[in-house]
Amino acid sequence: MVFFVDGDAAPGAGRRLRGVVVGAALAAGLAASAWGMDLRQAYEAALENDASIRASRAAAEAGRERLPQARSQLLPNVSFNAGRNYNDLTSEGRNVLGQPTTSQTQYWSGSQVLSVRQPLYRPYLTAQLKQAEAQVQDADATLERDEQSLVVRVGESYFDALLAREQVALVLAQKATYTTQLDAARKGFAAGSGTRTDVDDAQARLDLTVAQELEARQNESYTLHRLETLTGQPVESLAGVDAGRFVPQEPVPASVQEWIARAEEHSPELQSLQAQLEAARQEIEKAKAGHRPTLDAVAQWARTNSDTVTSVNSRYDNKTLGLQLSIPLYSGGYVSSTVRQAVATQTRVQEMLEATRRDLGVRVYREFRGVTEGVLRIRALEQAVRSAEQAVRSSRKSFEAGSRTSLDVLNAEQQRIAALRDLAQARYVYLVSRLRLQSLAGDDRLASVMEVNGWLRP
């Protein structure tokens, strides 16, 4: 950041004014140029520490488990059951003479059963597998969408903090200027060369600047705290924009329609909804499977010993191999109802996909305009800053010659500070719009961050 000061507000005041303002500018420049967190470091820290991203990763991991779960239902199901029991049987009856008799028998019995079931035709399970594949794609796309969103959130927080810090530096420089101007006006009034109006104007502007300083510092503290919360790390200093290397560029390709088509093809948001639509189609197939038969291959080996009181000390081995066919006949209309429900769900997802596609086009158009118009706005404000600096120099020289008042000098200085503030804001808005545009198009996240990071001070 560079502050231009020329001319004298009053005899001997110019050197003091230049010293104060240049000192404040140097302090701000040193604070900004001191090595601190840059955009890439902030993004990598947020990628590791942000709670919402960690939650998205966990959700994606949970969603990926649907695929092996669905696949397992089509593989053989093997089970083994075994049991051993102690039996104590007391029998009461009458013998051939009609006399009551009692007998007691104790014995052990047991069984072992090994079963294997292999689904052969299960349309429900086949549809469930395809649905699981779509749900995994949805989980991956949702995670990618959240990580793309993180780039934008980090960029917004980072440049909001930079803008707040720059506003503090500008307010401090303005405060130093008004303080010096007030001192010069008081001395001029005491010497009889000034007016009370000059003193009051300078005092009023200084008081307003003090209030603006409080607001700017509060905003700086808030934006830094928000960035620290996002990254999970303390922020001592931030790498600022290097005006010498920063050259705003038009988006490539230069057609907004190409960006919209690119976004529709690569946007993780649309990919997530497309995967949800496929999952909804497979839900219909699952519901329709309720009307279809199922066929399984079944193999079983069973061994029993002392199975009943009449077979004590006897053992039986039974081996079976066959097919099991199940045909649904009537379920009270349940299957038809689930089919209608699944069709309605599919329609809802289709409409959500179309609405999101249209909204995506609007958002891409807005950010594309933000980038293209940002280039023009930055160039115009750079010229406005040069003109405002020249106006300050001219006002000071005219004030020395007696053709301008101190109020004119204060107005010129205020206009210069406003132009510097608007230029800084335009640069940060351009950078954030660029990050948003690339995020909507599904561009490589790290490449987008590194491109913007290249314009910061190393």
- Is the predicted pLDDT of residue 25 greater than 60, yes or no? no
Which of these ranges, 14-23, 196-205, 351-360, 373-382, has the smallest mean pLDDT?
Answer: 14-23
User: pLDDT confidence of 177, banded at 50, 70, 90?
Assistant: confident
The residue count of the chain comes to: 458
DSSP symbol at 241: B
Measured distance CA(358)–CA(415) in Å, rounded: 42
- Is the predicted pLDDT of residue 406 greater than 90, yes or no? no
* pLDDT value, residue 103: 82
Which of these ranges, 8-12, 154-158, 169-173, has the smallest mean pLDDT?
Answer: 8-12
Structural domains of the chain, with CATH: 13-74+123-292+331-453 (1.20.1600.10)
Residues facing residue 105 across a β-bridge: 89
User: pLDDT confidence of 458, banded at 50, 70, 90?
Assistant: low
Measured distance CA(265)–CA(274) in Å, rounded: 11
Model pLDDT for residues 212-229, shown as the tens digit of each residue:
999 999 999 999 999 999
- Is the predicted pLDDT of residue 12 greater than 50, yes or no? no
Measured distance CA(223)–CA(5) in Å, rounded: 30
* pLDDT value, residue 19: 40
- Is the predicted pLDDT of residue 436 greater than 90, yes or no? yes
pLDDT, average across residues 118-129: 95
* pLDDT value, residue 20: 36
Measured distance CA(377)–CA(368) in Å, rounded: 14
- Is the predicted pLDDT of residue 391 greater than 70, yes or no? yes
* pLDDT value, residue 341: 96
- Whether 225 and 440 have beta carbons less than 8 Å apart is answered as no
SS3 95: coil
* pLDDT value, residue 236: 85
Model pLDDT for residues 69-114, shown as the tens digit of each residue:
999 999 999 999 999 989 888 888 877 777 888 888 888 889 999 9
pLDDT, average across residues 134-162: 95
* pLDDT value, residue 2: 34
* pLDDT value, residue 200: 86
* pLDDT value, residue 312: 75
The CA radius of gyration of the chain, in Å to the nearest whole number, is 40
Measured distance CA(9)–CA(28) in Å, rounded: 24
Model pLDDT for residues 252-291, shown as the tens digit of each residue:
888 999 999 999 999 999 999 999 999 999 999 999 999 9
**Residue 2: count of CB within 10 angstroms of its CB:** 10
pLDDT, average across residues 143-154: 94
Dihedral pair phi/psi, residue 154, rounded to 5°? -65, -45
Question: In which order are the strands placed within the sheet that holds 294-305?
Answer: 77-94, 100-121, 294-305, 315-326
* pLDDT value, residue 198: 79
Alpha carbon distances (Å) from 255 to 265, 368, 369, 372: 16, 9, 11, 11
Q: What is the DSSP string of 15-76?
A: HHHHHHHHHHHHHHHHHHHSS-B-HHHHHHHHHHH-HHHHHHHHHHHHHHTHHHHHHHTTS-
- Is the predicted pLDDT of residue 329 greater than 80, yes or no? yes
Tokens of 20: 């104060």
Tokens 């545009």 correspond to 437
Model pLDDT for residues 334-378, shown as the tens digit of each residue:
999 999 999 999 999 999 999 999 999 999 999 999 999 999 999
**Residue among 450, 452, 420 at smallest CA distance from 433:** 452
* pLDDT value, residue 47: 93
Contact residues for 303 (Cβ-Cβ < 8 A; gap 6+): 111, 112, 113, 315, 316, 317, 318
**Residue 395: count of CB within 10 angstroms of its CB:** 26
Cα angle, residue 205 at apex, residues 201 and 206 outer, rounded to 5°: 115
Whole-model pTM? 0.79
- Is the predicted pLDDT of residue 427 greater than 50, yes or no? yes
User: pLDDT confidence of 435, banded at 50, 70, 90?
Assistant: very high
Tokens of 111: 């069984």
SS3 314: coil
SS3 101: strand
Measured distance CA(374)–CA(378) in Å, rounded: 6
DSSP symbol at 404: S
Strands (E), 356-421: none
- Is the predicted pLDDT of residue 403 greater than 80, yes or no? no
Chain-wide mean pLDDT for the chain? 87
